[in-house]
């Protein structure tokens, strides 16, 4: 188990995770009013892989990624679709699960939904009212920002510089502009509502995360994550709610940068989105994952067709590496292997550097550089254990499948390949090329080598 350091948004400093306690990670998931896009997939991938890495180091980790399924935009989108909002949200949640399943990274340990947390939300709001941190007004309940001295500490703002920007109708109900809603009374056109001490209504944004995080991880947990666009107001408000109610809340705040399209943040409201499902269809899951770990999680990441094609090429280079290794490992003189590449690092030190990069603020691009260094070394000279080490490194970033055999050729392809070999032996190259074209049409690429031809699935 090595020391794992993470840059903390709240303190601005690098914090070391406590190895003696379970590392509870709460990452904000999507609001399900449409299919998720590549940008939404970034935190899912980053935090899934981060939890996987922690476990591989011997930490106990518990990953929670919520689904916010009550929201103004859900009402609006459901109305546009001519559906009930509950059914609409359920369908979008299912689509989210389906899309992220295709990433092949497994599921989080818990995926709580706001609609299944209403009782806890009502209880926390009541507690905040009792403590003087919130007040009821016209069936709504608002958080009294002035009652929480630490307000602004996460996003480093002063309250007087801020504006919660609530909808116009709420202006008259709030004591101060800065106050934000915890509970909203049911309004015209809203087809879901829950009973509460303040009348029928539904939770506002922010409060559900305070409740779900505590319910799944306890009042105090290690890491709270999410996109950097959630720092304010979402996470700032979560802190205000939870800490005002006496919960210590998260130790470290870990925010991922935005995915940019043409230099601008990809977002549903900008309309410059590229859906995750489409990216998976076009480039494959490995390329999508490889793309999302190609930059440091905290930095913005440029998105575009070229970037995705590059990810495809990277992933193909890794596949080719394993194809080559499969043949190389079958023979080989041990003494020859022992010499290995002169000056090349043994796989163990690459693996070590790989893990160290991940332990250092989860630096995936630096870690991947180690993978490619080892791949290059092993492509040049036989490096004993390289294939296994690369497979293990890739396993940690969800790309183990690149090491798997693509499947044996069928008998038809094998026969064609033999015919081509016969033709080549007879120097009948035009016939050999013709057969190669036929194989290509069947989805097989022929690669000749000193050890003979090889069929590769395209």
Partner RNA sequence: GGCGCCUUGGCGGAGUGGCUACGCAGCGGCCUGCAAAGCCGUUUACACCAGUUCGAUUCUGGUAGGCGCCUCCA
* Of 31 and 242, CB closest to RNA: 31
Yes or no: say if 180 and 166 are a contact pair by the CB < 8 Å rule. Answer: yes
CB of residue 422 vs RNA: minimum separation in angstroms? 12
In whole angstroms, give the CA distance from residue 412 to residue 418.
Answer: 10
CB of residue 20 vs RNA: minimum separation in angstroms? 27
In whole angstroms, give the CA distance from residue 134 to residue 185.
Answer: 15
Yes or no: say if 259 and 42 are a contact pair by the CB < 8 Å rule. Answer: yes
In whole angstroms, give the CA distance from residue 296 to residue 409.
Answer: 39
Give CA separation, 120 vs 135, 312, 348, in Å.
Answer: 18, 45, 49
CB of residue 196 vs RNA: minimum separation in angstroms? 21
In whole angstroms, give the CA distance from residue 391 to residue 351.
Answer: 10
CA dihedral over 413, 419, 421, 423, signed as positive or negative: negative
Q: Which two tokens stand for residue 167?
A: 């909808």
Return phi, psi of residue 206, to 5°. Answer: 85, -50
CB of residue 62 vs RNA: minimum separation in angstroms? 19
* Of 22 and 229, CB closest to RNA: 229
Give CA separation, 383 vs 2, 329, 354, in Å.
Answer: 26, 10, 17
* Of 118 and 287, CB closest to RNA: 287
Yes or no: say if 127 and 162 are a contact pair by the CB < 8 Å rule. Answer: no
CB of residue 448 vs RNA: minimum separation in angstroms? 3
In whole angstroms, give the CA distance from residue 363 to residue 6.
Answer: 10
* Of 127 and 229, CB closest to RNA: 229
CB of residue 130 vs RNA: minimum separation in angstroms? 26
CB of residue 303 vs RNA: minimum separation in angstroms? 8
Best CA proximity match to 112, nearest among 240, 211, 6: 211
CB of residue 169 vs RNA: minimum separation in angstroms? 13
Q: Helices 305-328 and 276-283, interaxial angle, to 10°?
A: 40
* Of 266 and 288, CB closest to RNA: 266
| Cβ neighbours of residue 50 closer than 8 Å, sequence gap 6 or more | 25, 362
| Cβ neighbours of residue 377 closer than 8 Å, sequence gap 6 or more | 341, 344, 345, 383, 386
* Of 10 and 125, CB closest to RNA: 10
DSSP class of residue 444?
A: E
CB of residue 116 vs RNA: minimum separation in angstroms? 18
Yes or no: say if 283 and 311 are a contact pair by the CB < 8 Å rule. Answer: yes
* Of 195 and 422, CB closest to RNA: 422
* Of 118 and 311, CB closest to RNA: 311
CB of residue 329 vs RNA: minimum separation in angstroms? 15
* Of 19 and 295, CB closest to RNA: 295
Sheet holding 249-256, edge to edge: 61-65, 23-27, 220-227, 249-256
* Of 60 and 457, CB closest to RNA: 457
* Of 31 and 241, CB closest to RNA: 31
- DSSP string computed for 79-145: HHHTS-HHHHHHHHHHHHHHHHHTTTS---SB--BGGG-HHHHHHHHHHHHHTTSEEEETTEEEE-G
In whole angstroms, give the CA distance from residue 161 to residue 176.
Answer: 13
CB of residue 246 vs RNA: minimum separation in angstroms? 25
């Amino acid at each position: 188990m090595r020391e794992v350091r993470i840059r903390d948004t709240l303190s601005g400093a690098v914090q070391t995770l406590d190895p003696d306690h379970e590392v509870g990670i709460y990452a904000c998931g999507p609001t399900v009013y449409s299919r998720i896009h590549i940008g939404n997939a970034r935190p899912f991938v980053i935090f899934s892989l981060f939890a996987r890495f922690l476990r591989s180091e011997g930490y106990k980790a518990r990953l929670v990624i919520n689904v916010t399924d009550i929201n103004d935009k859900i009402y609006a989108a459901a109305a546009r679709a001519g559906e009930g909002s509950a059914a609409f949200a359920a369908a979008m949640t299912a689509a989210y699960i389906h899309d992220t399943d295709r990433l092949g990274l497994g599921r989080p340990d818990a995926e709580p939904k706001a609609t299944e947390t209403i009782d806890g939300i009502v209880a926390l709001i009541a507690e905040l009212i009792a403590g003087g941190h919130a007040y009821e007004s016209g069936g709504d309940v608002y958080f009294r920002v002035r009652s929480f001295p630490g307000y602004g500490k996460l996003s480093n703002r002063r309250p007087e510089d801020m504006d919660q920007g609530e909808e116009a109708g709420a202006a008259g109900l709030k004591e101060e502009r800065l106050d934000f809603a915890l509970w909203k009374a049911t309004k015209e056109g809203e087809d879901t509502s829950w009973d509460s001490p303040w009348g029928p209504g539904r939770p506002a944004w922010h409060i559900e995360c305070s409740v779900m995080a505590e319910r799944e991880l306890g009042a105090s947990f290690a890491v709270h994550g999410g996109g950097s666009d959630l720092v304010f107001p979402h996470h700032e408000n979560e802190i205000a709610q939870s800490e005002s109610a006496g919960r210590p809340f998260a130790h470290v705040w870990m925010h991922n940068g935005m995915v940019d399209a043409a230099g601008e943040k990809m977002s549903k409201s900008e309309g410059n989105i590229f859906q995750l499902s489409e990216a998976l269809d076009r480039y494959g899951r490995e390329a999508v994952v490889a793309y999302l770990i190609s930059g440091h999680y905290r930095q913005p990441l440029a998105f575009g067709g070229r970037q995705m094609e590059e990810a495809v090429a990277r992933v193909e280079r890794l596949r080719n590496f394993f194809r080559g290794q499969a043949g190389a490992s079958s023979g080989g003189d041990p003494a020859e292997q022992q010499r290995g590449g002169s000056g090349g690092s043994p796989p163990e030190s690459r693996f070590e550097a790989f893990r160290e990069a991940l332990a250092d603020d989860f630096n995936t691009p630096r870690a991947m550089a180690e993978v490619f260094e080892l791949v290059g070394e092993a492509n040049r000279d036989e490096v004993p254990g390289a294939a296994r080490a690369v497979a293990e490194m890739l396993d940690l970033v969800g790309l183990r499948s690149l090491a798997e055999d693509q499947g044996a050729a069928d008998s038809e392809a094998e026969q064609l390949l033999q015919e081509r070999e016969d033709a080549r032996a007879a120097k009948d190259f035009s016939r050999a090329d013709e057969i190669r074209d036929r194989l290509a049409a069947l989805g097989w690429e022929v690669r000749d080598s000193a050890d003979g031809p090889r069929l590769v699935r395209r």
